[in-house]
Amino acid sequence: MSANKQLFYQQTLTEARAELENLLTSLTEEQLQIPVISEGQIWTALDIVTHLLENERAMSIHVHKIRQGKETVPEGFDLDNWNAGLKERAEPRPLSALLEDLKRSRSKTLEILETIKDDEWQLQGRHPLRGVITIEQYYETIAGHDSWHTKDIKKALHL
């Protein structure tokens, strides 16, 4: 059973990331700087990639903590504040560097995915937006996050 889930999420994660990378590599430098999200702070496509990288890293850490029986994030965690701080903390980087980091982060996510055992899929931890979710739902969230922000970029750029 675990092998089937692993294969499903491997494909889902790979497809979502490929769609994002294909979109990003098709954009001009000017398009990469156009505001995509303007609620609170203004985020460009490059800002969104930085956000996705940081969030994937964090969710992978959450999966690790859940497997060890540790707390992920405390109840009441302020996700909006954390995301706003990310923009302040992150150094501007060229798309080429961000694409390399996207590949590395996804490779690590897939590597961890391969180690999930049948009895671990339903283990739970607190996600900052979704509340208490299972490890399986964490993988759904990682893939969905890529797809969601890919759509945001397309919408903002009228693609």
CATH code (residue 86): 1.20.120.450
Q: Tell me, what's the pLDDT at 49?
A: 95
Q: Domain residues for 14?
A: 2-156
pLDDT tens digits along 74-102: 877 777 777 666 667 777 889 999 999 99
Question: Residue 96: is it exposed, middle or buried by C-beta count within 10 angstroms (0-12/13-18/19+)?
Answer: exposed
Look up the pTM and report it: 0.89
Burial 145-159 (b: 16+ CB within 10 A, else e): bbeebbeebeebbee
Candidates 153, 138, 118, 159; CA nearest to 45 is: 153
The domain total for the chain is: 1
Residue 134 has which token pair? 């299972």
Are 120 and 135 in contact by the 8 Å Cβ rule? The answer is yes
